[in-house]
Amino acid sequence: MMQRCRHRVRSVRVTSDESDTSESGSSETETETMRCVSCLESYESCNAGTCKECYEEANETEEELKRQIEDLKAKVAFLKFWSPIDHHHSRPNGPCFTDVVLVASSDENSSGFAVPVPAHKAVLVSRSPVFKAMLENEMEESRSGTIKIGDVSYDALRAFVNYMYTAEACLDEQMGYDLLVLAEKYQVKHLKAHCEKFLVSKLNWDNSILCYAFAHQHSAKHMLDAALSLITDNMDKLTKREEYVELVEKDPRLIVEIYEAYLSKQVNTAAPKDSSSKS
């Protein structure tokens, strides 16, 4: 496939000296032109700074990129697994060919029964190194074909398994937290990053302390940095929060880290001012 490069244009200023025989002295006029870096031809800015050939080639490059994007989308659609969850609900009598079920143990009712979530071992193994170790070795889950997942709701587990097949998840804040916990536990890095990005977009002063504690607990660095930055920007309001008092009692080392980050920010902010005053 022929690859084309997008040509850029750069502006150059051309200065010409014109002598006037009728008047004494000389006058200098400046004309701003654009030079095409492809063919090196110069054009006045009113002519858009490119030649017809380069303009047409740029359009062809754009069309080629669009075709490549469509090809990639088609390949992704072809390679994406169908989810046995959706298949199970849309065609309850059709074959699923699943060979393992996941059970949310926290959803077990008084009779001890929880709704199983069907899946394929091959998919779980390819998505998670934890499932890989669990199912490739002679562990209980491998022999029984049942994987019990603790401290998770059925809805979160179902969304987790569905993401393994589709790389898609419908998130609200609670689901974002639940799936991030599962993603960290089973080392599904792509899902963890997806949830982290979503939760950072929902970050505000009201939930910043809880987000910070949660991110610290689950090694969500992007979320941790964003929450910490927001907190240190509002230190004058920090001690008035109920979450602050609770955090002091439950995990005071996080409070220490907040103040260390605040002091570090103050030092870094003051350093440029000191250097400029000395000069």
CA–CA distance, 183 with 62 (Å, rounded to integer): 37
How many domains are there within the chain?
Answer: 2
Quick check: is 64 in a domain? yes
pLDDT for position 100: 92
CATH number of the domain within which 265 lies = 1.25.40.420
CA–CA distance, 55 with 214 (Å, rounded to integer): 52
Model confidence, pTM:
0.68
pLDDT for position 189: 94
Neighbours of 38 (CB within 10 A): 17
- Domain finish residue from 79, 98, 117: 79
Quick check: is 249 in a domain? yes
pLDDT for position 105: 79
> CA angle 180-182-156, nearest 5°?
90
Quick check: is 218 in a domain? yes
Quick check: is 227 in a domain? yes
Q: Residue by residue, what is the 3-state secondary structure of the chain?
A: CCCCCCCCEEEEEEEEEEECCCCCCEEEEEEEEEEECCCCCEEEHHHCCCCHHHHHHHHHHHHHHHHHHHHHHHHHHHHCCCCHHHHHHHCCCCCCCCCEEEEEHHHCCCCCCCCEEEECHHHHHHHCHHHHHHHHCCCHHHHHCEEEECCCCHHHHHHHHHHHHHCCCCCCHHHHHHHHHHHHHCCCHHHHHHHHHHHHHCCCCCCHHHHHHHHHHCCCHHHHHHHHHHHHCCHHHHCCCHHHHHHHHHCHHHHHHHHHHHHHHHHHHHHHHHHHHHC
pLDDT for position 5: 43
CA dihedral 159, 161, 165, 170 (to 10 degrees): 10
One digit per residue, the tens of pLDDT, for the chain of length 279 reads: 444 444 444 444 444 444 444 444 444 445 566 666 566 666 655 555 556 677 777 778 888 888 889 888 887 777 677 777 765 444 444 456 888 999 997 655 545 678 899 999 999 999 999 999 999 888 888 888 899 998 899 999 999 999 999 889 999 999 999 999 999 999 999 999 999 999 999 999 999 999 999 999 999 999 999 999 999 999 999 999 999 999 999 999 999 999 999 999 888 776 565 555 555
Using alpha carbons, select from 247, 200, 206 the residue that is nearest to residue 224. Answer: 200
> CA angle 78-86-169, nearest 5°?
75
pLDDT for position 38: 60
For 41, the domain range is: 32-79
Quick check: is 7 in a domain? no
Quick check: is 208 in a domain? yes
Q: Which two tokens stand for residue 271?
A: 């350093």
Quick check: is 54 in a domain? yes
Quick check: is 56 in a domain? yes
